[in-house]
Each structure stands twice: as C-alpha cells, then as structure tokens.
Amino acid sequence: MANTILVGAQWGDEGKGKIIDYLTDEADAVVRTQGGNNAGHTIVHGKRKFVLHLIPSGILRRGKTCVIANGVVVDPLALVAEITGLRKQGIPVGKNLLLSDGAHLVMPWHHALDEAREQRKGKNKIGTTKRGIGPAYGDKAARTGLRVGDLLDPKEFAEKFKARQRENNAVLRTMGAKPIPLQPSLRHYLAAAKTLRPFVTNTVVWLHGVMARGRGLLFEGAQGTYLDLDHGTYPFVTSSNTTAGGACTGSGVPPHRMDKVIGVMKAYTTRVGEGPFPTENEDVSELLHGMGREYGATTGRARRCGWFDAVATRYAAMINGIDELAITNLDGLDHVPVIKVCTAYRLGGKTLKHPPTSAADWALCRPVYRTFRGWMKDTSKARRFGQLPPAARVYAKALAELTGAKLSIVSIGAAHDETIRL
Ligand code: IMO
Ligand code: MG
C-alpha cells in the first residue's frame, strides 16, 4: 500500500475510525500524528463496538502495528485506561503498540486549566472536550512541556513534575481554580509511566525502517479540517494541525514520501462544541437524534447537525490536497424527502465560494442551497454502487463533484461490510 493520509474534511466525527479500520487490511502500520484523547473513533466488529481515543484504530487487527507518533499529546492515565480496557475486551496490546518518546504529555494541571479557561470565557467558551488538549499544546509551544521520554527516569520525572506543578498551581490559584495536590497525583503518573515504558521508542526511526522495507503506512487523522489550529474556525478549533501537513510534522515522515490523501466526510454536516456552522438546521438535528445518531463518542454531547456544506469541503480538498473521498453516513438521509446542499455563501451582498477567515464573518454567512430529491429507501443493504437507489447515486456523485475529488468509498452503516468501494 502507498503511504496514505486520512483526514476529516469537516468538523470531526466524520467516521474516520470506521474507514481506517476498513483500509487497515492494506497497510502495515497505522499512525496517529496529532490530537489526543479528545478524539473518539468508533469501530464496530460484528456485534462488538469499540471506542478508541488515543490508540490508532488498527489495534483491533492482528499483525498490524499502531504508532502514537511525536505530534500527539498523550495523557498517560488515559492511555493506560485505554490499554487496560482493550485487553479486557480480549484485544492484545503489546508489541503491536509503539509510543513516541517525543510526544508531549497531558498533565493534571492541563485538565484544570482547560476547565478554568472555559469557565472564565462564559458564553464565549469554545466547548472543548476538557481533556487538557489546548493547555498541553500551549506548553509544547512555550517549550515548557513534559514529554513521554521524561517518563523513562522516575526520579527525574518526579522533579520535573513538582516544578511544573508548583508553577501551574500559582496560575490556577490566580484564576480562582483549585490547585493540583502533589499526592496522590504524582504516584498515579509514576505508576502509569511504569506501564507505558515498554511501548516507548523513537518512532521516527521505526517508521523510516518500515518504509525502507517497502511497506505502507496509514496515517489516521483525528478531528477535522475546520478544527485545525491554522485553517479552522479560530478560536473555535482544537490546538493541533488536523490537516494533511500535520501527518508529516507529527510523524517525521517527509511530505514527498506521502502518496495519497483521503478525505472523509459525512453526507451531511455535524459539529460538537461552539463556533460557526452556516448550514446548521434544527430539522436535520431532530431527525438524526431521533434515529439515535450523532451523540459524541468522547463526551456524549448531542452533536449539532445540518446540511452538507460544499463550500467547506471544497476548501478542505484544497488545503489537504484530497485525492479521494469517503462519504459516510449516507444512510442517515435514507428517509429525507428533500435534501439540501450548500454551494455558496452570501455575506454582505457578496457571494463567497470560500469560507471567510474570521469566525465572526463565517457566523454571518447565509448558505445558498441546491436541492436534491431524496431516495426514501433503506440503503444499508447495498454492497455495490449500482445497488444504491438512483437518487442516492446522484447525490453521492454530486457531493464528490462539488468537493472536487474522486469518490472512492461510500459508507452506509457502522459495520465493516456496510461499505461500498468504487
Ligand atoms: P474526532 O477525532 C469532533 C472539538 C471540541 C471543541 C474543539 C476544541 O472524534 O473527530 P479540544 O478538547 O480539542 O480543545 O476542543 O474541538 N473536538 C472535536 N469535535 N470530533 C473530534 O474528534 C473532536 N476533538 C475535539 O468539541 O469544539
Ligand atoms: Mg469522533
């Protein structure tokens, strides 16, 4: 398999976990390069459902190696809990998981700061997952972070932990938040360090070894294009580069070794947390929530839902260099008589073909819609594109054309076989 980057083309939760699981057969290793346990990737195997947050979705398949690369922020307690949970479900986690010594750590003060900052923002809050992601990446950029490699020497780790705890507690106190007690906190992190030590390695060298043997890597994106720190609806974004470039900086695999970018997008749009969302629609939300769909895998929050936004996905195709598209959740629209797709925005008397840079402007954009006839039929049994109702084929093709990339996968359910390859 070629080295493939898979990214979300919308606001996250596009169904990346399912598509990664589907493509894993063709790869030798699956690599996470950014984000942390703010991600929630749901995979259904037979009757069993797995939700992964930090560990790449390839872990469920025998013979595949999963890599948590340098660009990820790792909460050691959350990672240990995830490993334990998988083992309890009968999934072996051992030599098949590698953890970069250069990945930054999410520490208890990051959680507290995430929470305190959100509270102070009041109605202007971002609506974060409260997993400490922003403050952890903040420390990384400020060059004050702790890294996985620091876990390897317990004595030194304890010293660094104490120093960082003191400094961050001072900040927490000025914010009126509760400081982090040294114990039992430090004890918990030292115990986690012990569990994680066998997984730690220089993943850059390992990944280049795999490539030297002519093997293929699959890069599992977390979050989505419009949660990207540089290209998203700032400040309503996450703190990493969720776009294709993040896979290079986050892994140490250079750009010219990447062969393909696959963009995953839902047949409609969803968003969790605050921020602009021009095609948000109450009827679509009600319909999907009524079907028991679109509740967050990480925080359980009901996702905001709306029509497909082709202005957003076209721009996403440009930033990421998307070659191929996977459309997921087509079955979510099975019983919608008239389906709308946003093809342009109206703002201040002008028609826009690209989203504005300012989130405030974006929030004022009015969608220009094209309507499509619904197919009003169950699509979940289709296994070939030709087995989809004609109106569903027209719709899927139109989404790919409006986005400007080749349609290669259509997903019509959570299970592995509920997938159509074109
Ligand atoms: P997956 O990988 C959807 C959103 C949060 C919030 C913003 C910032 O499952 O697609 P953060 O905790 O990252 O500082 O929150 O980003 N967010 C996600 N939304 N899917 C995700 O991951 C997300 N990870 C973060 O809701 O709006
Ligand atoms: Mg998710």
Whose alpha carbon is nearest atom 13 of ligand 1? Answer: 238
Quote the pLDDT of residue 406.
98
What percent of the chain has pLDDT above 70? 100
Q: Which ligand is nearest to the CA of 32?
A: 1
| Number of independent structural domains in the chain | 3
The angle at the Cα of 283, spanning 42 to 9, to the nearest 5 degrees, equals 40
Spatial contact of 56 and 6, defined as CB atoms under 8 Å apart: no
Domain end residue (candidates: 261, 292, 312): 261
Same domain for 299 and 408: yes
- pLDDT class for 298, splitting at 50, 70, 90? confident
Nearest-atom number in ligand 1 for the CA of 13 is 10
How sure is the predictor about 343, in pLDDT bands with cuts at 50, 70 and 90? very high
Q: Which domain holds residue 220?
A: 4-101+200-261
Give nearest CA residue, ligand 1 atom 3: 12
Q: Which CATH number do you get for residue 308?
A: 3.90.170.10
pLDDT band at 288 (very low <50, low <70, confident <90, very high): very high
Ligand 1: residue whose CA is nearest its atom 11: 128
Q: What is the pLDDT of residue 324?
A: 98
Domain stop point among 261, 282, 308: 261
C-alpha closest to that of 66 among 91, 38, 40: 91
Q: What is the CATH number of the domain that holds 134?
A: 1.10.300.10
- Looking at residue 305, its amino acid is C
Same-domain check for residues 185 and 212: no
- State the Cα–Cα distance between residues 103 and 225, nearest whole angstrom: 22
Ligand 1 atom closest to the Cα of residue 14 is 10
Residue 349 has pLDDT above 90, yes or no: yes
Average the pLDDT over 202-207 and give the result.
98
Q: Where are the beta strands (DSSP E) in 69-220?
A: 73-74, 97-100, 104-105, 200-201, 217-220
Percentage of the chain modeled with pLDDT above 90 = 97
Give me the pLDDT at residue 122, please: 95
Last-in-domain residue among 232, 261, 290: 261
Measured from the Cα of 274, ligand 1's closest atom is 27
The CATH number assigned to the domain holding 61 equals 3.40.440.10
Provide CB contacts within 8 A for 186, sequence distance 6+.
158, 161, 162, 165
Ligand 1 pocket at CB < 6 A: 8, 12-13, 38-41, 126-129, 131, 133-134, 222-224, 227, 238-239, 272-273
Nearest ligand to the CA of 239 is 1
Nearest atom in ligand 1 to 40's CA: 9
pLDDT, one tens digit per residue, over 171-194 is 999 999 999 999 999 999 999 999
For residue 249, give Cα distances in angstroms to 12, 193, 217, 243, 320. Answer: 20, 25, 15, 11, 14
Could you tell me the distance, in angstroms and rounded to a whole number, from the CA of residue 375 to the centre of ligand 1?
Answer: 32
Q: What is the pLDDT of residues 109-142, one digit of tens each?
A: 999 999 999 999 999 999 999 999 999 999 999 9
Same domain, 314 and 393: yes
pLDDT at 109: 98
Alpha carbon nearest to ligand 1 atom 16, residue: 238
Reported pTM: 0.97
Protein residue closest via CA to atom 20 of ligand 1: 12
What integer pLDDT is reported at residue 305 of this predicted model?
A: 98
User: If DSSP codes are grouped into helix, strand and coil, which group holds residue 261?
Assistant: strand
Distance in Å, CA 30 to ligand 2 centroid: 17
Q: How many Å apart are CA 387 and CA 397, to the nearest integer?
A: 14
89 and 205, same domain (yes or no): yes
307 and 390 housed in the same domain: yes
Q: Supply the residues annotated as catalytic.
A: 13, 41
Ligand nearest 72 Cα, by number? 1
pLDDT of 1 > 80? The answer is no
297 pLDDT band (50/70/90 cuts)? confident
Sheet arrangement for strand 97-100:
200-201, 97-100, 65-68, 29-32, 217-220, 4-8, 260-266, 324-328, 406-411, 419-421
Q: Is the pLDDT of residue 404 over 90?
A: yes
